[in-house]
Amino acid sequence: MRVPLRFLLVAGVVTALLVVGGVLVLGGDDEAPRDDAAPQAPFTATPLADRDTSGTVVTRGPFCERLDERVVEAVLGSVPQAQSWANGDQVDLGNGSPDVVHEFGCSYADPSGGQARAWVFAPPVDTTRAARLARSAGKAGGCTPGTGPAFGSPTLALSCTAADGTVRASYRGLFGDAWVVCEVTRPAGADWDPVDRAGRWCVGVLDALSGQAAAS
């Protein structure tokens, strides 16, 4: 049976449209996928005022390797090499000769003179001794007790100004039977707030001492 020419022409047009349409559809699948992931916010160290330190469980042992380097960078502006020490080590505490320490701690220093230090006593400390330690630290020359947020119990916030203009802000407190000290030194001529940065540093120290995961 002969098929009319008009029918063949119409069928050819339909087939061509289907082929073109198929190519267009398949071509649409080749488009590069869109990246809908939102950019991550930059890291910000947590202020001490935003952290409830009550009930924090601290381990009296090495902790410096667990410190988040982003906290160090947020406090000092860089991540310099750290000096660390352990119970029984000989450490120069600024007295001109090494002393045997009974604590675990570390210190970061940048070329400008900024410094971040932290340590925890190796022996257990009760509340009576903790109160004595706080009173003794508060009597140091050039130091003024502050009214910062709680850092353990008992607790002491301290700001000390040296003759050369450097300012050392620190927090000291008892967590269970662990006496913890963390401090930040601002060099003379710098214009950042050492008290605020000391608080943020102390939060990072507590995270490391308590084994908590660092905030991302």
Helix (H) or strand (E) holding 174: strand 167-175
Q: What is the pLDDT of residue 36?
A: 56
Helix (H) or strand (E) holding 50: none
Q: What is the pLDDT of residue 125?
A: 98
Question: How many CA atoms within 13 Å lie on the side-chain side of 175?
Answer: 26
Q: Please give the structure tokens belonging to residue 92.
A: 């120069």
Alpha-carbon distance 31 to 40, whole Å? 26
Alpha-carbon distance 104 to 166, whole Å? 25
What predicted TM-score, i.e. pTM, was given to this entire model?
0.78
Residue 70 φ/ψ, nearest 5 degrees: -65, -30
Along the 216 residues of the chain, how does pLDDT read in single tens digits? 444 434 333 444 444 433 344 443 334 445 555 555 566 778 889 999 999 998 899 999 999 999 999 999 999 988 777 899 999 998 876 667 788 999 999 999 988 889 999 999 999 999 999 999 999 999 999 999 988 899 999 999 999 999 999 999 999 999 999 999 999 999 999 999 999 999 999 999 999 999 874 443
In 17-154, at which residue ranges do the beta strands (DSSP E only) sit?
A: 82-85, 90-92, 98-100, 103-109, 115-121, 143-145
Architecture of domain 48-210: 3-Layer(aba) Sandwich (3.40)
For residues 99 and 91, is the Cβ–Cβ distance under 8 A?
A: yes
Q: Which amino acid is at 205?
A: V
